[in-house]
Chain A
């Protein structure tokens, strides 16, 4: 059996004594496409940061491809939610994407020819190659999102993490993006946070709902009825069940 892409066991995390995540256990096999849903403040982004090694759990263990999160950093790609960061920074699209080729072992060295060709490939894949010389601040939100995706792809990731990749983009790009991710998923494990349950139903293979604790649905668990209900009363999706269950097949531990 291959190593799981993600293996979280009994993970707890709190900020200044406020519990954010409680007893989260999750095993995700390689090649999966996981959508993470849940209310704002429910701990989705915290979960992602734990998986990326930016945050350390209070209790419990996390393994990414069998390694500690921060040791697996050269094997994962990350697309942040906020693409507006440092918008006046004097930097071109190419230079942002090249950051995907950084690594601890090659500090102090120039970017190589291989780095540049990898980035070229990634920028072309993300459909933003023609803008490579433009300062990042002059692009639209959707274009910037493509650059950040290219940056993540330039790493040659085995797992790609995305935090609300469609938060700041137009609906057209959203469809493009998920077509693109589905295609990419043939080679790469994908984990994406989203608030859009519709997106999840059409695209992902498995779903996790995070609100302090985590509930994981493996394969085909979202039905038309569930989506319906989630749209009707998203609060209910948040509360995991009361007064009527949105996600009926939970097996809570």
Chain B
């Protein structure tokens, strides 16, 4: 493992893994407590439409994915406000259409072979140095936003109605959350791919929630867990020549079941608390 660190691509991969784990820990915590896991899955898949569009028109796929993801996030947010009862259906529809659009656009792009797998399952080992800078900036934006609106985010997540009554602009705040989710999702696509984004966004916060007493604590613990899962997965994938994104997720999955089992044992024994 250590000799691998002499490679630029490995250093970039580690850095990307750590940074993405931090933003997934922060945003994932908000996604979990606000129950918008399905929306974030929808954003991740629909973002592929933006990747296809970028190839078709010849600009940066990251930019395409970001624009598309934010756009889709706004639409999904508006839908979930307007027609609450069918929001999940419409999110599912956009999810599928976005993906289909991306694939067709890539089909239509002349003479260009795109490695689909790297978008579906991530390509942490090919993250270029320039993207590391973008990830750092996005991380800072997310961190600052959450720090500034921390108590408002807590109120909205815990008791939306009360937050509205005391005058918190719940709707704009919700859209800010969706926008940040879109950015986090686009970053995470590089690491584990769009199919597996949901896992990195939900597993660490879900475990962390049980061991923390505040939303901030949940975010910190989720970030740390995410870093362990990502680096552990990266090491395993390097050692055994496995697909990195899927390995990271399986490591997280094993963590999920271990903590789940610990929780069950504790609950049954009734020893703790």
Contacts and interface: CB of A to CB of B under 8 A. Distances in A.
Interface stretch (A24-32, A36-44, A102-110): A102-110
Contact of B215 (A54, A91, A102): A91
Given A92-B214, A104-B167, A86 B159 contact: yes
A155 B169 CA distance: 17
A102 B151 contact: yes
B155 interface: yes
Nearest to B173: A107
A92 B165 contact: no
B168 A102 contact: yes
A118 B163 CA distance: 18
A76 B165 CA distance: 9
B213 interface: yes
A85 interface: yes
B209 interface: yes
B166 A98 contact: no
A124 B268 CA distance: 35
B207 to A, nearest CB: 12
A237 to B, nearest CB: 28
B151 A98 contact: yes
A102 B167 contact: yes
B162 interface: yes
A74 interface: yes
A86 B152 CA distance: 16
Given A99-B163, A102-B151, A91 B168 contact: no
Interface of A: 52-54, 70, 73-74, 76, 78, 80, 85-86, 88-92, 95-96, 98-100, 102-105, 107-108, 110-111, 133, 135, 151, 155
A110 B159 CA distance: 19
A99 B159 contact: yes
A3 B70 CA distance: 47
Given A90-B214, A99-B159, A151-B162, 6 more contacts: A73-B165, A99-B154, A99-B162, A102-B151, A103-B167, A104-B169
Contacts, number: 82
A108 B214 CA distance: 18
**Top 9 nearest A-B pairs by Cβ distance?**
A104-B167, A73-B167, A102-B166, A90-B212, A108-B148, A99-B155, A90-B218, A52-B165, A89-B158
B217 interface: yes
A103 to B, nearest CB: 5
A103 B166 contact: yes
Contact of B217 (A85, A90, A151): A90
A54 B165 CA distance: 7
B251 interface: no
A184 to B, nearest CB: 19
Q: How large is the interface on B (under 10, 10 to 19, 20 to 34, 35 or more residues)?
A: 20 to 34
Residue with the highest number of chain A CB atoms closer than 10 Å, among B148, B149, B168: B168
A135 B210 CA distance: 11
Contacts of B152: 102, 107-108
A112 B218 CA distance: 23
B131 interface: no
Contacts of B166: 73-74, 99-100, 102-104, 155
A99 B154 CA distance: 9
A107 B155 contact: no
Contacts of B21: none
Contacts of B256: none
A95 B149 contact: no
B181 interface: no
A78 B161 CA distance: 10
Contact of A95 (B154, B169, B209): B154
B24 to A, nearest CB: 17
Contacts of B188: none
Nearest to A100: B166
Contacts of B218: 90
Interface string B99-114: 0000000000000000
Nearest to B29: A90
